Amino acid sequence: MLEMQISSSDPSTSSSASGGSSRSNKPTLHVERKTQAELAFLRAKEKRAAEELLIKASTTHKERIMDFNERLDRLTEHYDIPKVSWTK
């Protein structure tokens, strides 16, 4: 089944500033059709966004910062500045 979205343009925006327009003042219809795959993708995307929001809302900012700092503590110190002189 195809989902259809119909929107009409505003007739006041289609006329020119001088007031004379050779086009009719009827609103034009724009039909947007989506395939089943596109609809399934959009549904899955909305579901993922809702789940992500629930996960993010379940922890406070302070808890997220503490988790981030713990994760940084577990990382190797690969990017630390190495010693330059071996005598010191």
For residues 57-76, give the mean pLDDT. Answer: 89
Report pLDDT digits (tens) over 14-53. 444 555 555 667 778 877 899 999 999 999 999 999 999 9
Q: Which tokens hold the place of 86?
A: 């071996």
CA 38 to chain centre: 16
Residue 8 vs residues 13, 35, 64: alpha-carbon distances, Å: 12, 22, 46
Q: Which tokens hold the place of 87?
A: 């005598």
Residue 27 DSSP class: P
Distance CA 8, CA 14 (A): 12
Its pTM stands at 0.42
Amino acid type, 5: Q
